[in-house]
Each structure stands twice: as C-alpha cells, then as structure tokens.
Amino acid sequence: MSDIPAGWFPDPSGAPGMLRYWDGTAWTGHVHQQAAPAYAPAYPQAHETGPARLGPTTPDGEPLAGWWHRVGATTLDSIFSAMVSLVVTIPAQISMQGQMTRLTDDYQRRLDAGDPHAVSWFFHQMLDVYRDRLWVYVIPAVILVIAQAAFLHHLGGTPGQLITGLRTRLRERPGPLSWGRALARGAAYLGVPIVLELIGLASGSWAVLVPMLGLMAIWSLINPLWAAWDRNRQALHDKLVGTNVVRVRR
C-alpha cells in the first residue's frame, strides 16, 4: 500500500459515508463525513479509484482554512487589538492630541506671518511629537504579541480563530504551538510592521520614515495575501515559523 498516494479514502472500518486520510504510508486520525460512492473500496487498494478531493490539507490530512475564512478571523483579531491598544495608550493619546493642537496653532501663525519655512518646520515638529512617545507603539505591540502567543499556546488559536472555528498548528505536527513558536509567530505577524514604523520614527527623518512606512504597507498587504495563492495556504508569517491555519470539525 506504500505506493498509494496520500489522500482521503473510505474509512477502512467500514463506517458509512466516512472518509479517513491516508498519508501515503499509514492511516491518520483525521476523518471526514461524506457520502461515499457505492463502488468505492474500503481502503486505498485500487489506483483507478483514487483519493476523494476535499481540498488542501496538512501532510497528515487536517483540512486547511480557506483564505476568506482566515480574513474573517483576522478582522476580529484586528478589532480586539485596536481595543487593547486604545485602552493602554489613552493618556498618551490625549497628551499627543493636545500637543498637535498647539502645534497646528503655531503653524497657522507662521503661515499668517509669511514664514517661508512654515511647512518644513511643521512636519519636523510633528515628527518630534511622535518620536518622543515611541513607547505608545512599543508597549501595546509587546502586550499583543504575548497575548496572542498565550492564546496560541494554551488554546491553539487566536481569539478570532477560536470564534470562527479555526486553529493554528505546526504544519508537520498537530497540537498547540510551543511558547517559542507562538511568540515567534506573533512577532512575525504583529512585530514586523511595528519594527519598520519604529525605525522610521526613531530616525527623526522623513527621508527614512517614508520608505519605512512604504515597506510596512507592502508587508501588511503581501503577508496575508500570500495565503490566497500559496499551495500550502501559508501566509508569510506562517512560512517563517512553519505553521498552518486549519479548520476545526464540529
């Protein structure tokens, strides 16, 4: 039977309509309820029958999440992340808003006085306002990475994934991620864009900030989109740490 390709076949136990995943060497624990054709054999012994087509899976047969399914989970996670960031940074946001109001007033007075350098002065001062409060970006990012890692390690998925019936696992092995892999995945997903933004802000130069923001936008766009055309349905952060997002059977 070792020459039979991996795939879904009628369960050798004979359960009606039940398919079990054959990994090319042995039967796995992954099953799928589906009406099987009456002529299908109880195990993969006939090449002409072939495996049932149920979409891409992990190497051991667990169905991978579709791209739009992942988008729904990510949207929920983004809402939760925004709420956490807002709560953690409310005092700093209020202070920064006050500073920006005063800065705008000074800018208008310079324009009224005909200052030819008013625009460059304004953008330089605005950058200083954000550079002086880098912790507004760092602390929420650290909290969110640790929180996401805790969910992945203890529950097997982010809050959005748990709500929408998805889980994150290693591609080659089922089960929740280790703390190390969970932290690495959170850092790759949430940390890369934050680090790019921090590099730009810390530089104090618009010549550095603008390219960093451009790279941040490119990463934030390409990273999730990668899972839409990747044959293993892995986003870039999944590829970096070797994970897959899978569907949970209910």
Host domain of residue 10: 1-54
Question: How far is the C-alpha of 129 from the C-alpha of 228, rounded, in Å?
Answer: 39
Residue 57: per-residue pLDDT: 87
Give per-residue pLDDT as tens, 194-247.
Answer: 999 899 988 888 889 999 999 999 999 999 999 999 999 999 999 999 999 999
Mean pLDDT of the chain: 85
How many structural domains compose the chain? 2
pLDDT tier for residue 42 given thresholds of 50, 70 and 90: very low
Confidence grade of residue 146 (pLDDT, cut at 50, 70, 90):
very high
219 and 196 in contact (C-beta within 8 Å)?
yes
Residue 77 lies inside a defined structural domain of this protein = yes
Final residue of a structural domain among 32, 54, 76: 54
The pTM assigned to this predicted structure is 0.73
Instruction: State the Cα angle at 149 between 170 and 231, rounded to 5°.
Output: 35
Instruction: Note whether 86 and 36 are same-domain residues.
Output: no
Alpha helices, H only, the chain: 67-112, 118-131, 135-155, 159-164, 179-186, 192-203, 206-229, 236-241
